[in-house]
């Protein structure tokens, strides 16, 4: 009986791991373009995208081929441009904009529609209880 349970566990593990694989795509120049997890041909979990110069372009979570949770977007010189919350492939929550690694302004979205904008971090802090 124990042997049958062990075989079943091993079979389940290998079957589950075969359904999910880490994939990479490349630019024509050979530089890495994107990398992340696929499950049943859909993007899942964490993904990274790159500029042709090799620096990160953006990174974040996917669920069933749709952006979700927090994403980080970079300038081509490695500096963070913005961090944004997504749900079901749409902006949903805050987008924080950066300059020289400091937050300079913010926006709030509800399922892709901008509902609020703050043009300074002091304005943003007045309306929100977010720790930095």
Average pLDDT per 10 consecutive residues for the chain, totaling 132 residues: 49 58 97 97 97 96 98 95 98 96 95 96 85 58
Q: What is the pLDDT of residue 129?
A: 78
> What is the pTM (predicted TM-score) of this model?
0.81
Within 8 A by CB and 6+ apart from 116, the residues are 107, 108, 127
Task: Tell me what pLDDT residue 121 has.
Answer: 86
Query: According to the model, what pLDDT value does residue 81 have?
Result: 97
pLDDT of residue 18: 55
Q: Which two tokens stand for residue 73?
A: 């977007």
The confidence score (pLDDT) of residue 130 equals 67
């Amino acid at each position: 009986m124990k042997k049958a349970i062990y075989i079943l566990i091993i079979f389940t593990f290998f079957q589950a791991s075969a359904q999910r694989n880490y994939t990479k795509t490349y630019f024509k120049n050979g530089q890495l373009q994107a990398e992340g997890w696929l499950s049943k041909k859909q993007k899942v979990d964490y993904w990274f995208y790159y500029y042709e110069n090799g620096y990160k372009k953006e990174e974040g979570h996917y669920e069933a081929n749709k952006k979700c949770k927090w994403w980080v977007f970079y300038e081509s010189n490695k500096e963070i441009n913005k961090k944004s919350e997504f749900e079901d492939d749409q902006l949903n929550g805050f987008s924080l904009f950066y300059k020289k690694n400091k937050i300079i302004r913010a926006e709030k979205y509800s399922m892709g529609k901008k509902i609020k904008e703050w043009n300074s971090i002091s304005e943003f802090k007045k309306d929100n209880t977010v720790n930095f």
